[in-house]
Structure 1
Amino acid sequence: MKLRSKIYLFSTGILFIILLLTNIAIYFLYVHSAIDKEEDILSNQANIIFENLPPSKLNDSDSNALKPYKINDGMVRYINKDGKVIHQVMDDDDFEHIHPVVVNDEEKKQMTADDHQIFIARYPVKIGNDDDDDHGEVIGTLELAVKLDNVYEDSSLLLTILVITSLIALILSLIGGKLLSNLLLKPISLLSQTMKATQESGQFKKIKMNNPSKDELYQLAVTFNKMMDQLEENFEKQKQFVSDASHELKTPLTVIESYAKLLKRWGAEDPDVRQESIEAIYSESIRMKELTHQMLDLASSEKQKSLQIETFDLVPFCKQLARTLETVNHREIWVQSDQDQVRVNWDPQKLKQVLMILLDNALKYSEKPVGIILKEQHGRIALTVKDEGIGISEENQKNIFERFYRVDPSRQRGSGGTGLGLSIAKAIVEQHEGDIEVKSQIGKGTAITIFL
């Protein structure tokens, strides 16, 4: 069943149940209220009769005592204790079909007489020390009755009105349900059509929003469009990554293949050719291994793996790393901090990886000492790796964090760079919800800052 049909059935069904229960309640409340009103009229009339007519007057068959107390469309009569009607005043002969009854206690009920609904009230007439004494002797019964035809005629009219208005309400509900479903389902239909068009064309289509209403459906469309933008961006990055990776791997593979052929052809006879080929193949193999590791590191960083966050002091952490790299590279690396302790919440292994990348680049492109500077800036910790090397032009600074990007391709290839290091560093920093920025001048050096 389509969602549109479900909306129709649900909205109409709920309204039908509400109207049915409401109409039943209104109908029975009206009938009950109208009968109670007739009962009050009879009760008031009986009280007036008891106040004005003594029992002796009621038992006097020669008098016409009840004539002044006639009830419109009703009956008033007095019955003695033998069940004989002494006095009787009525508007309709239909009341004659009501059998006279003597009662000892007050009685009120609804009954049918000659196809008419009648409400009848019977009150015992007593004599004793006190006319109102409940223990007096019953000498007769005062009987009052009224037809309920008008009540049921009015209730029938009310029922007809309720049915007609309910039908009108249901029709309006169907129309409203259709309008509502169109309003609700239009963005969903557009979403479905857009997804289908994306699937068929292979292009990332977006929903056109001509009337921004700022409601949940509008937010759904906005979220979908943002998702399409993100998917398109990721797709382009992935395509670019595959293209760049293929290009990067093509060169060492070509070199290895060429030297392998040379080695196969001349290596057995010429020791110099054999040695040159082995060195070239080994060098390119090492380079391919480094490139593969860095691509895996980049993919690992982008997967948002769980981090081992710890609270530690950056000052001894940086000094220890600087000493290690000084020993390995035989270069001076100094550490400067404006505080004795700089505590941060980071994954220490990931931070070590980032610093290794930045320090490796600084040592490659600078012959002078390299520095690590720690200071507090705008409520965050700024960790800067600074060198006095060749520098980076302003144009190239915008792209150095892109994958496989090289400021000087020939120089960096000769130094073993792959163009992935800074991309990995940026991915790790963003994974920790930090920022990274670069400041550099040609011939004066470069400073790359991580905001922790």
Structure 2
Amino acid sequence: MKKWTLQRKWTYASAISIFLSFLMMCIILYFSLYNWMLISEKKIAQNTLNELVSFFESKGPIISIQDIQRNKTLLNQLVNQEQSVRILNADGIEVLRINDVSPFPNFSPEILQEFQRERVDGQLLFHKVAEVDFGLFTGYVEISHSLENFSHLMDYIFIAMVIFALIALFLSALIGYSLSSILLKPLKELRNEMQEAKRTKFSKEVKFQYVTKDEIGELLTIYKELMNEVSETITRQDEFIQNVSHELRTPIQVVEGHLALLNRWGKNEREVLDESLDISLTEVRKMKLLIDEMLKLAKNERTDELLESLLYEIVLSLQNKYRILEPETIIEFAGDEKVKVAVPATTLEQIIRNLIENAIKYNENKPHIYVKVTNNELKTIITIMDNGVGIPENLLPKIFDRFFTVDEARTKPNGGSGLGLSIVKSLVSEYKGSILVESNEKGTKFDIIFPEFNKRI
């Protein structure tokens, strides 16, 4: 039974419950009808006996066979009801029998208050004895009322109820199966949807629709919410892996560059050794902070504390890095060196660094990058301009899509993965900022706007 499907359980349960209800109703109806008809038979027999006693007492003291024959009403009643009557004297000897169709039990002079039901010679009957006294005759009148028609009728009713019960069992099973098919159809579709989601690793949207506001509708709502959470979690995990691989590339390149520098001539140069080790350790610490920030972003978590970063120090740090990684690249800073932005330093460095890397990759000249900051009481604007190949106007709406890259024929051979600008957009949005872009054949300009989250020292 544990391996039965829900539809099978539902079918059997509904069939058995409906059948038992119908069977109980039939049993109650049968016994009610049985008792009612038995009482009716007893009343008919009692009326006949009363009429017999009245007839004999009214005709006394002398009564003849002709008197009995002339009472057609009484005789017809005896014949129609299959009743037999016999007259016995005081000694219990039978004197007269009328309509000999129903047998009598052995006579007992005991006067019965109620009809007795007995089976005599294989026939079921009611019988009763009453005293009669008319004229010179004193004796008994005994009536035998056959219950054979009653028995046959109850047998027919019983057979009919059995047949109806079997029909009810079949119909209840059919109705139960039909109802279960209709009511369980949404659950089957939901099961198929879940199997498809499992097969596609939750990459497809939930297509199953169910508009009825019942338990299944609530289940579907919960399932959709769960699917969205699972899909979002998987998406964030994938993005996290891609972002980490993208963002750790530059710090690793810096560390690798300094280790290569040490390997070539820094072993004997104490100043070069100390500088390279300090920079490498700094980069490792930044990588740890970067991973922590990206983990928070992947989990959709962000501290409510407004961590402030000095933009000038970040640009200065990037200048030092790219002096080793891209010696031909020029990075200039313009604006107030004391402007702080309420964004963690690792995050703000990610944003600026990704834009600088794009400016280097998508450039046919010596990269010249300007980082400018302006602010007022309402907003801080960080502008990054380059002298690269530019972005076609029709592609500007797509550049922040994940894995989107501009025509690689217009870029350096080591073109990007299409994640940099997507990460920039995500990080800027995470800290309530916005980003605007303008581009032509002379270069590209990005404006990053952080409203109301700035402070001067």
What TM-score, normalized to structure 2?
A: 0.60
From the superposition, tell whether residues 77 and 301 of structure 1 become closer, same or farther in structure 2 (CA, over 3 Å).
same
From the superposition, tell whether residues 254 and 444 of structure 1 become closer, same or farther in structure 2 (CA, over 3 Å).
closer
How far the C-alpha of 1:116 sits from its partner, in A, is: 1.8
How far the C-alpha of 1:252 sits from its partner, in A, is: 1.6
1:158-197 to 2 correspondence within 5 Å? 158-197=157-196
Give the whole-Å Cα distance in 1 for the aligned partners of 2:208 and 2:295: 40
Give the whole-Å Cα distance in 2 for the aligned partners of 1:118 and 1:223: 71
Partner residue in 1 for 2:256: 257
Partner residue in 2 for 1:7: 10
**Amino acid in the other structure paired with 2:30:** Y
**Amino acid in the other structure paired with 2:102:** D
| Structure 2 residue corresponding to 1:119, chosen from 117, 126, 136 | 126
| Structure 2 residue corresponding to 1:82, chosen from 71, 91, 96 | 91
From the superposition, tell whether residues 259 and 45 of structure 1 become closer, same or farther in structure 2 (CA, over 3 Å).
same
Give the whole-Å Cα distance in 2 for the aligned partners of 1:369 and 1:228: 41
**Amino acid in the other structure paired with 2:304:** V
Whose Rg is larger?
2
Verify the 8 A CA contact 2:267 2:273 in the aligned structure 1: yes
Verify the 8 A CA contact 2:193 2:208 in the aligned structure 1: no
From the superposition, tell whether residues 89 and 104 of structure 1 become closer, same or farther in structure 2 (CA, over 3 Å).
same
Partner residue in 2 for 1:447: 452
Pairing 1:274–2:273 present:
yes
Give the whole-Å Cα distance in 1 for the aligned partners of 2:133 and 2:449: 126
How far the C-alpha of 1:265 sits from its partner, in A, is: 3.0
| Structure 2 residue corresponding to 1:100, chosen from 93, 100, 107 | 107
From the superposition, tell whether residues 251 and 107 of structure 1 become closer, same or farther in structure 2 (CA, over 3 Å).
same
From the superposition, tell whether residues 369 and 19 of structure 1 become closer, same or farther in structure 2 (CA, over 3 Å).
closer
From the superposition, tell whether residues 140 and 248 of structure 1 become closer, same or farther in structure 2 (CA, over 3 Å).
farther
Pairing 1:25–2:28 present:
yes
| Structure 1 residue corresponding to 2:82, chosen from 55, 66, 73 | 73
**Amino acid in the other structure paired with 1:446:** P
Q: More deviation in 220-229 or 284-293?
A: 220-229
Verify the 8 A CA contact 1:389 1:445 in the aligned structure 2: yes
Pairing 1:356–2:346 present:
no
From the superposition, tell whether residues 66 and 299 of structure 1 become closer, same or farther in structure 2 (CA, over 3 Å).
farther
From the superposition, tell whether residues 122 and 251 of structure 1 become closer, same or farther in structure 2 (CA, over 3 Å).
farther
Partner residue in 2 for 1:305: none
From the superposition, tell whether residues 387 and 76 of structure 1 become closer, same or farther in structure 2 (CA, over 3 Å).
farther
Structure with greater contact order relative to length (CA < 8 Å, sep ≥ 6): 2
Verify the 8 A CA contact 1:61 1:87 in the aligned structure 2: no
Verify the 8 A CA contact 1:79 1:140 in the aligned structure 2: yes
Give the whole-Å Cα distance in 2 for the aligned partners of 1:25 and 1:159: 12
How many pairs align?
344
From the superposition, tell whether residues 85 and 362 of structure 1 become closer, same or farther in structure 2 (CA, over 3 Å).
farther
Per-residue CA distance 1:328-354 (angstroms, 9 max, x = gap): xxxxxxxxxxxxxxxxxxxxxx9xx41
From the superposition, tell whether residues 220 and 64 of structure 1 become closer, same or farther in structure 2 (CA, over 3 Å).
farther
| Runs of 5+ unmatched residues, structure 2 | 315-334, 343-375, 384-395, 401-418, 437-446
Verify the 8 A CA contact 1:390 1:444 in the aligned structure 2: yes
How far the C-alpha of 1:199 sits from its partner, in A, is: 3.4
Give the whole-Å Cα distance in 1 for the aligned partners of 2:341 and 2:282: 28
How far the C-alpha of 1:229 sits from its partner, in A, is: 3.7
Partner residue in 1 for 2:380: 390
Verify the 8 A CA contact 1:207 1:221 in the aligned structure 2: no
What TM-score, normalized to structure 1?
A: 0.60
Partner residue in 1 for 2:362: none
**Amino acid in the other structure paired with 1:155:** M
Partner residue in 1 for 2:366: none
Q: Report the secondary structure of 2:194's partner residue.
A: helix
From the superposition, tell whether residues 204 and 122 of structure 1 become closer, same or farther in structure 2 (CA, over 3 Å).
farther
Per-residue CA distance 1:179-216 (angstroms, 9 max, x = gap): 22322343333333333333344453456547855554
Q: Report the secondary structure of 2:232's partner residue.
A: helix
Q: Report the secondary structure of 1:356's partner residue.
A: coil
**Amino acid in the other structure paired with 2:451:** T
How far the C-alpha of 1:35 sits from its partner, in A, is: 0.8
Partner residue in 2 for 1:132: none
From the superposition, tell whether residues 421 and 121 of structure 1 become closer, same or farther in structure 2 (CA, over 3 Å).
farther
Per-residue CA distance 1:151-199 (angstroms, 9 max, x = gap): 1222222223223333333332333233223223433333333333333
